[in-house]
Structure 1
Amino acid sequence: MQLDGILSGLNPKHKVFILGSAVVDLVLSVNRLPKSGEDISAAFQGGKVGGCAFNVADVLTKLDLPCSTYFPVGEGMFAQIVKQEFIKRSIAISQVCNCGDNGWNLSLVEPDGERTFITMSGLECRMQKQWFDKYSFSDFDYFYLSGYQAEGENGDIMLEILKRKRKDSFLIFDPGPRSEFISAEKVHCFEELNCIYTINAKEACILSGRLYPDDAALELCKRTGNPAVITDGAKGAYLACDNKVSLIPGVSIKVADTIGSGDAHTGGFIAGLMCDLSLEDAVKLANYTAAYVTAHQGAACAPTADQMLSFFTETL
């Protein structure tokens, strides 16, 4: 299906819960990453509220698809920035007291647009079970979780929380660059929660122990018994399902930076799933969404349906 047909078919049929982080991204442009002991020059591109879960929810919100979210907001300088952004966007503020500040990261962007993060985690990686007591998880069909919330003791809390969901509901799980820091035992526990992987090629190969992304997609699909989506940059994304794998071609654009690109892809995929699009069309929508975000600077810059259609009509 073409993009206009996909966008016209976005009528929500399932309920989605996004849980995770809203943090502050401080973006620096560098000619290259520094070596140990060096001092290099950089250009400050500004600060913006991001975070994997916030970026995913941004996609659904911009496409006028309802979702429930939980992003804890603490106390401190970065929490105040997050709170101001939430007020501007009319997002409900889940205030948590006496638990510290929200996290932040330094995003180093090289000339080809690739980003490298230095992350300072905050209270979003110190979740507490009682924060979720007011939610009825049985109401939701899809849940999203990032690897940033899945490691260590926080991962144990997330596993307990997600066991409240219905067994037939799905966990959309993106371990991201934290996949190598999550124990194999814990990864297996997440996989048992009716998990659908969305992850990039490098990370998928690490997680699966396979050398190539198509093989990694098949391995992750086999582990969970559900589809797996593996992004591979401009090539597009591999979709594995029923012991078969296919490459859904990507969209050619001029790269601004890759901050939030993977999150945007996951958000586009969830948008397709919650609207009962075919898996192939859901991945196509994800490819377009990620391409749009990659062509624009910073995270949480997902398009509306009209903006997406207009951009690619002019670009392609």
Structure 2
Amino acid sequence: MKQALIIGSTVADVTVRLPHLPVTGEDVIVESQSMSLGGCAYNVSEILRQSGVPYTLFSPVGTGIYGNYVREHLKRKQIPILIPAPAADNGCCYCFVEESGERTFAALHGAEYRFERQWFSLAESLSVGSVYVCGLELEEDTGGFILDYLEEHPEYTVYFAPGPRISFIPQSSLRRMFSLSPILHLNRDEALEYTGITGSPENKKPWKKADLPCREYRLEACLPEAASRLTALTRNHVIITLGAHGAFHMEPSGKHALIPGCPARQVDATGAGDSHMGAVIACRMKGFPMDKAIRTANRISAAVVEHAGAGLDDEDFLRLNA
């Protein structure tokens, strides 16, 4: 089995739990604060590691207190750092988690998001079949080096998760990425925002159990059209995650389906999307059809939101897959 190259950031997540996000001028009492290893690429790679598929985490680790934290914790987990340490500080990600479990991020970007062209020569000796790329790295002015590398390897299966800042990625970079026919992974808000499909005001309301008829209407009204526009750009699978309601999948042919989610008591939504993406990649590497891969990913991401932090510990992952 060829391995997956996971390109992107590993950061120190500073998680701040609070009753609600303060409005301007308001004071709130923080319930707790903690620090843990996170970052989109790291979160994805953890699911691959726990799934037992081969991978390499291709993530710069800089200097400073956050860089030292990341380096020490990767060492503890025996995860090698392939890229030479850049002479710049790592940033961090402030994860504000409300009582509902919903999370809001404020990221201080540092060395972990910036890549150098020569680093990719280090990956040439690896037997790579799949590559994961996060949109945050393409937003940087060094994102072109990632695209250069991918364009030199059209044989790779590319998984692209543009994230909530998809509108901040230069259009020229998105065109280059889409021309690689990546498997695209976004959530509902990201998909609707980028494609410009908003529908009626009802489409923007959170889904509730009592809204099932409206929910089905909104799915029919919005998601197939959004996914169709995205598939036209990438000519590959599009996965739109819907939280507790599962995921919407469209094949390159246009055939589509809603794959139901799993019930979960949301404690912390941090890392749920990354874990979903990691599970899809791991399952596809094992030869699963896409619908089964997404079903498995729905189950794993549901378990992730029931725990504090951006993933599952090894024991919980094993129990989940027993």
Taking structure 1 as the reference length, the TM-score comes to 0.89
Please give the alpha-carbon distance, in whole angstroms, between the structure 1 residues aligned to 2:311 and 2:72: 15
1:210 and 2:210 equivalent? Answer: no
Give 1:65's aligned residue.
Answer: 53
Secondary structure at the aligned position of 1:206 is classed as helix
Please give the alpha-carbon distance, in whole angstroms, between the structure 1 residues aligned to 2:86 and 2:80: 19
> For the Cα contact (< 8 Å) 2:60–2:86, is it kept in 1?
no
Secondary structure at the aligned position of 2:131 is classed as strand
1:227 and 2:237 equivalent? Answer: yes
User: Which 5+ residue runs of structure 1 have no aligned equivalent?
Assistant: 1-12, 311-316
Please give the alpha-carbon distance, in whole angstroms, between the structure 1 residues aligned to 2:321 and 2:284: 20
Give 1:309's aligned residue.
Answer: 321
Deviations 1:239-281 (A, max 9, x none): 1011121100000011111000000000000011111101100
Give 1:246's aligned residue.
Answer: 257
Following TM superposition, the consecutive aligned residue runs of length 4 or more in structure 1 with deviations greater than 6 angstroms are: none
Identity of aligned residues (%): 32
1:120 and 2:108 equivalent? Answer: yes
Give 2:210's aligned residue.
Answer: none
Deviation at 1:156, TM superposition (A): 1.6
1:130 and 2:130 equivalent? Answer: no
Give 2:285's aligned residue.
Answer: 274
Give 1:35's aligned residue.
Answer: 23
Deviates more, 1:232-241 or 1:295-304: 295-304
Please give the alpha-carbon distance, in whole angstroms, between the structure 2 residues aligned to 1:306 and 1:34: 38
Deviation at 1:137, TM superposition (A): 7.5
Deviation at 1:161, TM superposition (A): 2.2
Please give the alpha-carbon distance, in whole angstroms, between the structure 2 residues aligned to 1:198 and 1:95: 26
Deviates more, 1:300-309 or 1:241-250: 300-309
Deviation at 1:39, TM superposition (A): 2.3
> For the Cα contact (< 8 Å) 2:114–2:140, is it kept in 1?
no
Please give the alpha-carbon distance, in whole angstroms, between the structure 1 residues aligned to 2:47 and 2:139: 25
Match 1:287 to one of 298, 302, 305: 298
Deviation at 1:288, TM superposition (A): 1.0
Letter in 1 for 2:292: D
Please give the alpha-carbon distance, in whole angstroms, between the structure 1 residues aligned to 2:314 and 2:225: 32
Give 1:6's aligned residue.
Answer: none
Secondary structure at the aligned position of 1:117 is classed as strand
Give 1:140's aligned residue.
Answer: 128
> For the Cα contact (< 8 Å) 1:54–1:300, is it kept in 2?
no
Please give the alpha-carbon distance, in whole angstroms, between the structure 2 residues aligned to 1:54 and 1:175: 16
Deviation at 1:181, TM superposition (A): 0.5
Match 2:41 to one of 41, 53, 67: 53
Deviations 1:274-294 (A, max 9, x none): 111011001011111111111
Please give the alpha-carbon distance, in whole angstroms, between the structure 2 residues aligned to 1:174 and 1:283: 15
Secondary structure at the aligned position of 1:56 is classed as helix
Please give the alpha-carbon distance, in whole angstroms, between the structure 1 residues aligned to 2:226 and 2:2: 28
Higher relative contact order (CA 8 A, sep 6+): 1
1:299 and 2:316 equivalent? Answer: no
Deviation at 1:222, TM superposition (A): 2.0
User: Which 5+ residue runs of structure 2 have no aligned equivalent?
Assistant: 199-221
> Would you say how many aligned residue pairs link Structure 1 and Structure 2?
297
Deviations 1:139-176 (A, max 9, x none): 322100111111131222221122222x2322100010
> For the Cα contact (< 8 Å) 2:18–2:32, is it kept in 1?
no
> For the Cα contact (< 8 Å) 1:75–1:96, is it kept in 2?
no
Letter in 1 for 2:158: L
Match 1:155 to one of 138, 143, 165: 143
Give 2:98's aligned residue.
Answer: 110
RMSD of aligned residue pairs (Cα, Å): 1.7
